[in-house]
Structure 1
Amino acid sequence: MTRNIGLPVIEPKEKPVKNENNNPFNGSLTIRGKLFEGIVINAKAKGTAVIQKESPVYFKKFKRFGRSKNTIHAHIPSNLNVQKGDYVVAAECRPISKSVSFVIVEVKS
């Protein structure tokens, strides 16, 4: 049984590990605030991925665009398979650890 998290995302088909509280679909983790879309650049840590988003920034003085990068850490629920290079959507949640305040809700490959 999965619960509605309030976002138009595809729910995972895999079964989660039992007693996982930090899961928005099957646990008690609630979603709030911002959405972050980007590419996974590192998924070596247990249950955590590093996501990076590039966006253009306009410099008025030079009349040119530059590149800006934002990086966050996000929790990986047990019923999602996330690998390096995947395009994912992360949603803001309560702080899970010192640097993790987002959880991955969809993998777009």
Structure 2
Amino acid sequence: MNAKNIGIDIPAPKEMCNDKKCPFHGQINVRGRSFTGKVVKITFQKNALVEWERRVFVPKYERSEKRRTRVWAHNPLCLCVKIGDYVQIMETKKLSKTKNFVVVKKI
């Protein structure tokens, strides 16, 4: 099975997988928002917890504070993502109760 074009300028992975939720080899379409973050946790069910920091200005103290965003994303087997890797994730349809994103690129 050849890798399909997912609509953004990202090269397809060289490895193949039989995952139905893979954007390159499965039936999932990516759309909407895209984020870059660090993989903090990986589970056996092809899940990855991706985290990134952002700065928010607090008007009362006239300072900015660091906040973090943590999102569960689907981790396809063809990308071989490990803890500590920086990845790009994209929004997709709801994959489970807590997953709306899928990993599309290892940076």
TM-score of the superposed pair, with normalisation by structure 2:
0.92
Three-state SS of the structure 2 residue aligned to 1:100 is: coil
Paired position in structure 2 for 1:84: 83
Cα distance in structure 2, aligned partners of 1:8 and 1:30? 14
Paired position in structure 2 for 1:38: 37
Cα distance in structure 2, aligned partners of 1:69 and 1:59? 15
How many residue pairs are counted as aligned between the two chains?
106
Three-state SS of the structure 1 residue aligned to 2:100 is: strand
Paired position in structure 2 for 1:73: 72
Task: Please give the root-mean-square deviation of Cα atoms over the aligned residues, in Å.
Answer: 1.1
Residue identity in the other structure for 2:84? G
Q: Check if 1:103 corresponds to 2:102.
A: yes
Identity %: 32
Paired position in structure 2 for 1:6: 7
After TM superposition, the runs of 4+ consecutive aligned structure 1 residues lying more than 4 A away are: none
By how many angstroms is 1:60 displaced? Answer: 2.0
Three-state SS of the structure 2 residue aligned to 1:79 is: helix
Cα distance in structure 2, aligned partners of 1:86 and 1:64? 31
Cα distance in structure 2, aligned partners of 1:99 and 1:60? 32
Unaligned runs of 5+ in 1: none
Residue identity in the other structure for 2:5? N
